Amino acid sequence: MKVSLILEIAKALMLARFKQTMIAAIGVVFSITMFVALLGFMNGLNKLLDGLILNRTPHIRFYNEIKPSVNQPIDLADEFSNFYNIIRSVKPAASRLSIYNNEAIIRTLEEDPRVLGVAPKLSAQVFYNVGTIDITGVINGIDVEAESKLFAFTDYVTAGNYIDLKNTSNSIILGKGAADRMMAEIGDVIQATTSQGNRVQLKVVGYYQSGLGDLDNVQSYASIGTVQKMMGETASYVTDIQVKLKDFNLAPAMARDYRDIFGIDADDIQTVNAQFETGTNIRTLISYAVGITLLIVSGFGIYNILNMMIYEKMDTIAILKAIGFSGRDVNNIFITIALTIGFVGGTIGLILGFMAGLGIERIPFETEALPTVKTFPVDFNPKYYIIAAIFSIVTTYFAGYFPARKASGVDPVEIIRGK
């Protein structure tokens, strides 16, 4: 069948009912705009919230957990080997927190091609001595360069320069909450007591603000060397090894493998942060549901308008059939009309949706909790645009399908005689 003739007739019919066609198209424009803007905005927020946790969470974390020994002495005794032994109130064994042979482990991990980077870490419980009172806190000893490269450490240092942590000896970047409590300005020297009883003087070189208030009240950062010195430990004392992978989906399997090889505990990001993924999924689901509802509603609009057009154009359909157009041709004409509305509306909708995204991205969004965010986040992932484009075509096709089938079934004799 000649496509150009079908197109020409479809065009003439649309122009004859230009206003209605426009209204149908505007429906599509609106829903596609909303769909794209909504998903972009929703996922921008999702990414931001996930990033808040996930950017700073190692994909795999190796550590020694304080826990009761799995092998109790009674299990080794021959005389009780045939018994089912229950021991109540088992206490954890005094195991070392430091990871044994951590240099070799780090070297092995760095040689693994799946690994993006490794950062050792050390946590120390301290009391900040402020006048007569002590405030509890945790000082994380970090490899400053690795930490900022792998875990976006610099993003959260809101005042001061992060590299001073490495360059100035006995320096500390205080959590914003802790700093506020101590009223410590940058350049001040604070005093802290470790759990071993050592007193140290630390110079404040910056503030750290993650956006999670509880964390900022407690966590502070110092270089790994400083913390080792504070604790009176050697340079090989490391309590955590943090690993970032190239593909974080490999984390569970790799954590399992290395747990067995090194004989230490390993947590993967998926296990630790399962709840974030659930939240993300549900938010995405809701935004898709709203977007698709909008599209379906606009689909009904198109359905109505095409139906009306068919009643108005019964004569035209009858005459087309009488002069040799088959039901299929008539069907194609109305499907073409529907798809044109979908295509034009969809294209304009995508452009407007993109512009809406740009607009939202400019709205100021400043909050204490999120120091790195100045405006609303929008995700311009092409995936949403592709989904929206496909959906605009699919829904308009189905909206046109039934009216077109009705039109193709019009009996010309009935119309022509019925006058």
Q: Do β-strands 240-245 and 60-63 pair in parallel, antiparallel, or remain unpaired?
A: antiparallel
Does 326 interact with another protein (rule: CB under 8 A)?
A: yes
- Between 83 and 311, CB nearer to another protein: 311
CA torsion 225-227-231-235 (nearest 10°) is -20
Residue 311 C-beta: closest distance to another protein, Å: 15
Cα(35)–Cα(291) distance, rounded to whole angstroms?
A: 4
Please pick, from the candidates 328, 362, 374, 383, the single residue that binds another protein as defined by CB under 8 A: 328
Backbone φ, ψ for residue 249 (5° rounding): -70, -20
> What letter does residue 99 receive in the DSSP assignment?
P
Please pick, from the candidates 75, 110, 257, 315, the single residue that binds another protein as defined by CB under 8 A: 315
Under rule CB under 8 A, how many of the chain's residues touch another protein? Answer: 28
In angstroms, the Cα distances linking 66 to 34, 61, 74, 75, 79 are 52, 15, 21, 21, 30
Length of the chain: 419
Angle formed by the axes of helices 3-16 and 327-362, nearest 10°: 60
CA torsion 326-331-334-338 (nearest 10°) is -150
Residue 358 C-beta: closest distance to another protein, Å: 40
Does 320 interact with another protein (rule: CB under 8 A)?
A: yes
Specify the stretch interacting with another protein by CB under 8 A; choose among 29-37, 50-58, 281-289, 325-333: 325-333
Does 327 interact with another protein (rule: CB under 8 A)?
A: yes
- 272 to 311: interface string for another protein, x by CB under 8 A: ----------------------------------------
Specify the stretch interacting with another protein by CB under 8 A; choose among 130-138, 214-222, 339-347, 406-414: 406-414
Residue 322 C-beta: closest distance to another protein, Å: 5
Specify the stretch interacting with another protein by CB under 8 A; choose among 10-18, 69-77, 173-181, 372-380: 10-18
- Provide the β-strand partners of residue 121: 142, 240
Site residues (vs another protein, CB under 8 A): 2, 5, 8-9, 12-13, 15-16, 315-316, 318-329, 411-413, 416-417, 419
